[in-house]
């Protein structure tokens, strides 16, 4: 089995706000559930926590998956892997940007992918090393964690949404 994917919140948000809105492409959301049940895609509890407070259809979708394998809390090894990622971000980026990055799910997502041998799926792009803002691909690269964009992930998983 190929490596599973660990999804960033922007995968869900951009899908709902863009080409895969629940009322337009419900098959995308059914596909996510199927892929999660097969263990090919997951996310993390901190992504759940970011999205559950939106008060919209996406928040309802996320709440319906509470307690499933889709949004598991970090196990002890993930908690341990988070620490060096947080230390790197704090040492490398201005304090306000590091704090913003660390208050969200991004570092947890990377730690989970690192520990569980996953590929991070994110809409974020790799930025120049002189950037003052930490981005998931840059931190993934620093820690040897693979990352991929949403459309590449869909292609690799053979997603097809037909009428």
Report yes or no on 163 lying in a domain: no
pLDDT in tens, 19-67: 999 999 999 999 999 999 999 999 999 999 999 989 999 999 999 999 9
Residues 54 and 38: their CA atoms lie apart, in Å, by 27
Please tell me the total count of domains within the chain: 1
Q: What is the CATH number of the domain that holds 57?
A: 3.40.50.1010
Report yes or no on 162 lying in a domain: no
Report yes or no on 96 lying in a domain: yes
Report yes or no on 104 lying in a domain: yes
Task: Label residues 60-76 b or e (16+ Cβ within 10 Å = b).
Answer: ebbeebeeeebbbebee
Report yes or no on 123 lying in a domain: yes
Report yes or no on 51 lying in a domain: yes
Q: Which domain holds residue 122?
A: 5-156
Report yes or no on 161 lying in a domain: no
Q: What is the pTM of this model?
A: 0.95
């Amino acid at each position: 089995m190929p490596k599973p994917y660990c999804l960033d919140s922007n995968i869900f948000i951009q899908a709902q706000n863009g080409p895969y809105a629940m009322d337009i492409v419900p098959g995308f959301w059914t596909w996510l559930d199927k892929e999660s049940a097969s263990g090919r895609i997951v996310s993390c509890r901190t992504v759940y926590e970011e999205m559950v407070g939106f008060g919209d259809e996406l928040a309802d979708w996320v709440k319906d998956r509470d307690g499933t394998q889709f949004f598991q809390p970090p196990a002890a090894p993930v908690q341990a892997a988070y620490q060096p990622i947080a230390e790197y971000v704090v040492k490398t980026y201005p304090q306000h940007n590091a704090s913003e990055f660390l208050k969200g799910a991004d570092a947890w997502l990377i730690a989970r992918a690192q520990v569980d041998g996953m590929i991070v799926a994110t809409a974020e792009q790799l930025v120049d090393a002189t950037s003052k803002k930490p981005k998931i691909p840059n931190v993934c690269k620093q820690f040897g964690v693979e990352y991929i964009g949403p459309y590449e992930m869909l292609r690799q998983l053979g997603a097809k949404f037909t009428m």
